[in-house]
Amino acid sequence: MNHFKVPAVFAVLGAIACASTGPTPALVDARRAYEQASHSDAQRLAPDRVLAAKQALDAAERAHKDDAGSFEERSLAYVAERKSQLAQGYAALRRDEQQRQLAEKSYVDTQDRLRRQAEARADNAQNNLAQTRGALSEQEQRLNQERAARVEAEQSRDKAMESLRQIAQVKEESRGMVITLEGAVLFASAKSDLLPIAQKKLDQVATTLKDVDPTQKLVVEGYTDSRGADDANMRLSQQRAEAVRNYLVTRGIRPEMITAVGRGEASPVADNESAEGRATNRRVEIIVQPKQGPQTVQNNPSQGSSTPNPSSGSSTTR
């Protein structure tokens, strides 16, 4: 009976020893590797690789359960560990690939943004250049128009002045342009009423003055010869100057731009001893004053209407 009991005891001890055998170090490493892989971003980036590692670890666990410590357990555990490590490696690779793609996208986006900015700056520069060219073209056109208008105005002025010289004496002096009309064609002897021929001449004078420059100030000066009393000559010259002024106003000369002054027998331009000289002295001068320095008018300037004519009883020609 004792011979049969000894083998049974060894069999029980062997079973107990097998049941208490723990996992091999390879299986422990495989479990640890899978734990790391399953809790890393490999679960998101390489889920297929994590699944393969889990399946390999399950196979190693089954081998351990069937034959703990066996070569098959160690071999399958080694494979499971490497697959877990491989899953993390693939995750790192895909992470780097994503970062590369993001970097490339950022680069492309940056290049596209810079290109659009450069194109926008180029478009703005082109628009500014076009506007500048347009402004210069408009300015050139204005200059050409002004030049043409100036030439036309000068030609018109020259034509008007040439026409004026046919009916009056015109000369340039320091006090301005002086237009001299003979008194004999303007007034009857000792009178201040304009003759019909005088009105025609003054019509032409008014037209010329408006064509030359309607903004220049004018002074109408009346003169007599030396015959007669000084005060009578002064009154007559004033009345004649006013008659000319008032007529020019009716022909479009602005009243505030023209003044009448009687000079009497002052400033003769010829000898009063001869009839011809006295006729020359009996005159009316229209002075177109220079804009930069208008001449001060003296001797009782007037802008009103003509005063009554002096007595016509005198036979003296003045």
252-287, pLDDT tens digit by residue?
999 999 999 999 998 898 988 888 888 888 889 999
Element (H, E) at 113: helix 71-165
Q: What region does 176 belong to: left with phi over 0, alpha with psi -120 to 50, or beta?
A: left
Per-residue model confidence (pLDDT) at position 318: 61
Which value, to the nearest 10 degrees, does the dihedral of the CA atoms of residues 96, 101, 103, 106 take? -160
188-201, pLDDT tens digit by residue?
878 888 999 989 99
> What radius of gyration do the chain's Cα atoms show?
62
pTM for the structure as a whole: 0.49
The domain limits of the chain are 22-128, 167-288
| Intervals of the chain under pLDDT 50 | 1-20, 293-315
Per-residue model confidence (pLDDT) at position 316: 52
**Residue 132 CB coordination number (10 Å):** 10
Strand partners, 173: 176
Give yes or no for a contact between 246 and 305, defined as CB atoms under 8 angstroms apart. Answer: yes
List all residues 6 or more positions away from 86 whose beta carbon is below 8 Å from its beta carbon: 49, 53
Per-residue model confidence (pLDDT) at position 302: 42
Class of domain 167-288: alpha beta
b/e code 208-223 from CB counts within 10 Å (16+ = b): bbebbeeebbbbbbbb
Element (H, E) at 182: strand 176-182
